Chains A and B, each alone.
Chain A
Amino acid sequence: MRDASSFHLLGDHPFLIDESIGDLDLDLVKSLVALDSPENMLDETRQPTGSILVTAASWFVVGIMLWALVGFIYL
């Protein structure tokens, strides 16, 4: 078993790679390394998603309130 650095992946990565690794799996390792890179960790996609949850919750509450309102009108 060789370390990831043999495949020109510098830095400390949590991947076990041997010489038999195929191109596709090596691409996967590179993608995962890029995903956890310090610059990507600062990316908008990796930041907390409070605003997404609030938006979804707001739509849900609007839907429920509309349901209650229409139901009340026809009750």
Chain B
Amino acid sequence: MSHSDTEVSGVTTREALAGRLPIQRSDRLYKGFGTLVAACVAIGAASFNYLFGASIAYIGNTSIGILGYLIGLIVGLAPVYVASGLISYRLGVDPVDASKSSMGTRGSSLLLALILVTTLGWSFVLIAMTGQVAGRLQQILFNPGGEIDNGFVAAVSVAMLLLVWLLLKKGPAMIALLTRFTSPAILIIACVLLYLITRDVSLVDLLHTNVDPKQAYATDPLLQLAYGVEFGASNALTSVPFFGGIARLIHKRKHLITPSLVGAGVIGAGFTSAVGALAAIATGSTEPAEWVVKTAGNGLGTVIVSLLLLANLGTLLSFFYFAGVSVQQVRFFARMRWDLIVAILLLPGLVVAFNTQWLISHVMNWLAYNSAMFIGIAAVMLTDYVLLRRQVVLPAHLFVKDKQSAYWFWGGVNWVAMLIIVLGVVVYLMLFDPLSLQVGPTFRYVGASIPTLAICITAYYVLMRLVIATSYRGGYRNAKQLAEKKVRVGL
């Protein structure tokens, strides 16, 4: 085979990075530890973490809540990264294509739908929050005691949409470039905020200050710890649909887990949420614009809030990039120019800009239940690739659209996987309701995500072993023969 025959041209490389083509290792963006940590910090440290931080404070014990949240991020992210990142890292494919080997050629549409709902949902919530926080800041500074100017909120939201389009049309390289600046900015802001809230009260005293027990979610320390862990694990589970999108851009094997976990988990989500929790305790306010101005004063407060909002761009670019790549599963989008795809994805944001409060209150409630679905998907992908397939997936068959595909299962869907995803939702909601915060009897000892994950892994393994023992479906038993079979592939 001559080199020129197989060389992927510059145009193809660009298509691969902004599209669904497998990305060769030499073309991958994240070659160093630092750039990857920066990108992951940007994903994990959006400004809504300061709101989540307030929830951590309301667990009832600030230090237990923060510790539990950090533990939840670690125990949640480790299995999630293996489940959703391993195939994408090894083959350079997008997460929806990676999921075809376990969920089926057509069954992977479920993940596509969830990726779009999650990335676009959180992005629009973030845009709405940016508009709202800017509006609150404008009201505090120029109209104290008055109403928030909805026209100003809409103008800021539309400006953010425009900025995202202008930056993201340059492709994912812009994310790497931008996050080199936004991620340090996010951390510096968090450190400044931590300094400001600990000026009058020491950090140790703040960690030992708790909300009024009447307002707390729980008074039992073990239950408080379990709540903290569950909040962290739920946050970690939202990585299921899009971590593959980062994994396919990672160059070195040793960078797949640790920089991502430290960047998105410990530093990104963990540190900023902890600052949010401490701020809620110190100021009694859960609104970032309010407590930042309260602690820093009008001048410095305005600068900090403005930087905080601009730093959201790193998160927004990453989320819209994942959505833009995944939506190309639909052929109509696969043939479209990248900047046009981004524009179409941003369009609903214009409606969001004029209904920010409605979106925050309704969409966030819905997104709270997302974790329930992602546990089953993570269990299926992890068990299928690591335990059942022993890490052998046929890349060509991920792009075969008919029953010639090894991953056709039953009519293109692995119904066993679907059953497990439903089982995951049922078990999780029996153990923990993310909105009402009602819990089952075992919750205080083991939380909800980890036992649900264990049950789903066991059930999927046993059921699929029965399928493998009785048929050739899914290409588990005849991978070698299938690898030699001539197939027609397409995007």
Binding site for B on A (CB under 8 A): 8-11, 14-17, 24-25, 27-38, 40, 43-49, 51-53, 55-57, 59-60, 62-64, 66-67, 70-71, 74-75
Chain A contacts of B6 at CB under 8 A? 9, 30, 33-34, 37
Task: Report whether A31 and B16 are in contact in the complex, using a CB–CB cutoff of 8 Å.
Answer: yes
Complexed CA–CA distance, A46 and B24 (Å)? 11
| Pair count A-B, CB < 8 A | 150
- Do B487 and A14 touch (CB < 8 A)? yes
Residues of chain B within 8 A of A16, CB atoms compared = 486-488
Whether the pair B82, A56 counts as a contact (CB closer than 8 A) is yes
Contact among A9, A28, A40, A43 for B490, CB-based, below 8 A? A28
Cα A52 to Cα B261 with chains together (Å): 13
Which residues of B sit under 8 angstroms from A14, Cβ to Cβ? 396, 483-487
Partner of A44, one of B8, B229, B252, B483: B252
B8 touches A67 (CB 8 A): no
B322 CB to nearest A CB, Å: 20
> Are B225 and A29 touching (Cβ within 8 A)?
no
B489: chain A residues at CB < 8 Å are 15, 25, 28-29, 32
Known: A34-B6, A35-B24. A60 touches B488 (CB 8 A): no
For chain B, residues 149 to 196, give those with C-beta under 8 angstroms from any C-beta of chain A: none
Can you spell out 7 A-B residue pairs with CB atoms less than 8 angstroms apart?
A27-B21, A31-B16, A35-B24, A47-B253, A49-B86, A60-B74, A66-B74
B338 to chain A, nearest CB (A): 13
Q: Which residue of B lies closest to A25 (CB)?
A: B490
Q: Which of B5, B78, B229, B490 contacts A67 (CB 8 A)?
A: B229
* B257 at the A interface (CB under 8 A): yes
Q: Give A27 to B22 CA distance when docked, in angstroms.
A: 10
> At the interface with chain A, which of B64-72, B206-214, B346-354, B417-425?
B64-72
**Interchain nearest-CB distance for B89 vs A (Å):** 6
Q: Does B301 contact A (CB under 8 A)?
A: no
A71–B92 Cα distance when bound, in Å, is 40
Given contacts A14-B483, A46-B90, contact A66 B256 (CB under 8 A): no
CA distance A28 to B488 in the complex (A): 11
Docked Cα-Cα span, A31 to B24, in Å, equals 8
Q: In the assembled complex, which residues on chain B have CB atoms less than 8 Å from the CB atom of A57? A: 78
A-B pairs, top 8 by smallest CB distance, nearest first, are: A63-B74, A63-B75, A74-B221, A60-B78, A59-B78, A16-B488, A34-B6, A11-B1
Nearest Cβ distance between residue A29 and chain B, in whole angstroms?
6
Q: Is B199's beta carbon under 8 Å from chain A? A: no
**A40 CA to B68 CA in the complex, in Å?**
43
User: Are B75 and A64 in contact, CB atoms less than 8 angstroms apart?
Assistant: yes
Indicate if the CB atoms of B222 and A74 lie closer than 8 Å. Answer: yes
Residue among A11, A44, A49, A62 making CB contact with B25, cutoff 8 Å: A44
Q: Are B12 and A62 in contact (CB under 8 A)?
A: no
